[in-house]
Amino acid sequence: MTQQLYLADAWTRDFTARVTAHRVEGDKTWLSLDRSAFYPEGGGQPGDSGRLLAGDQVWQVQDTQKDAQGQVWHAVTGPDGPPPVGSQVHGELDWARRFDHMQQHTGEHLIASCLYRLTGGFTHGLHIGREVSTIDVTMPDNSTRLGQDVLDDIEALANRLITEDSPVTCRFPDAAELAGLPLRKDPTVQEQVRVCAMGDYEMVACGGTHLSRTGQIGLVKLLGSEPARGKLRLSFLCGGRAVAHYVRVYKAVTRAGELLSAGVDELPGRLSEALRQAEDNRRELGALRRQRSLAKLPGLLEQARVLPDGRRLVIAQLEEQDLPALEALAGEMVKHSGLIALLCVPRAGRFNLLFARSPDVKADMAEFIRSTGAKGGGRSDFARGAAADSLPWEAAQVMAPHLP
């Protein structure tokens, strides 16, 4: 079994050890050490990365895992295969990544404790992602979302406890003591139960790496809650991630305020008014475009080609900017009996097609538009499509007079 240095001191950044074994799985080479400060993936916390050194040779540690026998394995890449079994290596953690994980993990304990205190929600597990971390929670009423006011209360309590800078301690109590401890939830293992405590308000079994004081979490930011597999999933950021989020939001809000000539407090109202005005303008513009498109109707009908069976065929390449306006024009056309309308709007190297027919014409326009080679479909009397070049449009003009 590997001596797991992170259990005694999560702040160990480098160490010396001896290589005890190798194994190859797929395209990965793994090696085990007699002692290691690299944390193996577990409890929702990713395995550590870093490097191993021997003389002037360097092996990158890409992942760390632990097997059922307690042996810690390190996935390595480097010169001429892994260091030999029995050789001594010097390990160095990717400390920025480990510290980030410690902030997320310790912050999760604090969030879960505050959530339990304020709502009675039971936290099942943690997932530390590359950008956002989450916990899954069963609520007493089985709800799968939290209101913003509840999220605000949990976040405020967590950040207040951070400022108290309470000690974070991890230890292995004996069975008798363990039985009397006020754990937030039952341990998931039966032997060698490691207990993590924060001040006098949080205590839970955990084998992960943690900070030494709550103040080192820095900041907690709850991003929201959503349903996930019948439970409530809470997303959050801690420490440096939360600070980076604040900086991004601050820059975005400041820029939005400049664009709308509004202060932070005025911004929601000013933005709401701008969106309302934009919607009014959109509707007005749509009406004008529809009016302009419909004004072309008499000329298009006058230019219609009369087929031998008496049906009329309108073929037109237009410059409409608005799809609803084009649809309105086609809709008015086919109110006239015995009419087939083939309309095309080229835009940005793309040919948008709209084919329609009068109710007394039996041709299937959806099938026809596909037969030209364009992608699209729709109803038998009204179909839309698109093509990357003009060939389908040219084919449609040739084929249309022969529609059944």
Q: Kindly tell me if the per-residue pLDDT of 321 is higher than 80.
A: no
Which CATH number is 294-402 given?
3.10.310.40
Q: What percentage of the chain carries pLDDT values higher than 90?
A: 85
Homologous superfamily in CATH for domain 99-247: Threonyl-trna Synthetase; Chain A, domain 2 (3.30.980.10)
Mean pLDDT of 355-372: 94
Mean pLDDT of 334-349: 92
| pLDDT for residue 173 | 93
Residue reference for tokens 């092996």: 59
Which residues, 6+ apart, have CB-to-CB distance to 303 below 8 Å?
314, 316
| pLDDT for residue 318 | 86
Residue 192 pLDDT grade (very low, low, confident, very high; cuts 50, 70, 90): confident
Question: Residue 217 has which token pair?
Answer: 């979490």
- Whether residue 370 contacts residue 382, with contact meaning beta carbons closer than 8 Å, is answered with no
- Whether residue 200 contacts residue 221, with contact meaning beta carbons closer than 8 Å, is answered with no
Mean pLDDT of 270-280: 94
- Whether residue 201 contacts residue 118, with contact meaning beta carbons closer than 8 Å, is answered with no
Sign of the Cα torsion 303, 309, 311, 313 reads negative
Residue 319 pLDDT grade (very low, low, confident, very high; cuts 50, 70, 90): confident
**pLDDT tens digits along 66-110:** 998 989 999 999 888 889 999 999 999 999 999 999 999 999 999
Give CA–CA dist 351/348, Å, rounded.
8
| pLDDT for residue 365 | 94
Q: Which of 98-102, 122-126, 185-189 has the highest mean pLDDT?
A: 98-102
- Please, what is the average pLDDT of the chain? 94
Which CATH number is 3-93 given?
2.40.30.130
Per-residue 3-state assignment (H helix, E strand, C coil) for 224-275? EEEEECCEEEEEEEECHHHHHHHHHHHHHHHHHHHHHCCCCCCHHHHHHHHH
Bigger pLDDT: 19 vs 188 = 19
Mean pLDDT of 374-386: 93
Residue 248 pLDDT grade (very low, low, confident, very high; cuts 50, 70, 90): very high
Q: Kindly tell me if the per-residue pLDDT of 320 is higher than 90.
A: no
Residue 148 pLDDT grade (very low, low, confident, very high; cuts 50, 70, 90): very high
Give CA–CA dist 348/276, Å, rounded.
29
Question: Residue 290 has which token pair?
Answer: 């529809």
Q: Kindly tell me if the per-residue pLDDT of 151 is higher than 90.
A: yes
Mean pLDDT of 110-133: 96
Q: Quote the distance between the C-alpha of residue 359 and its chain's center.
A: 47
Report domain extents, the chain: 3-93, 99-247, 294-402
| pLDDT for residue 78 | 85
Mean pLDDT of 3-23: 96
pTM attached to this predicted model = 0.77
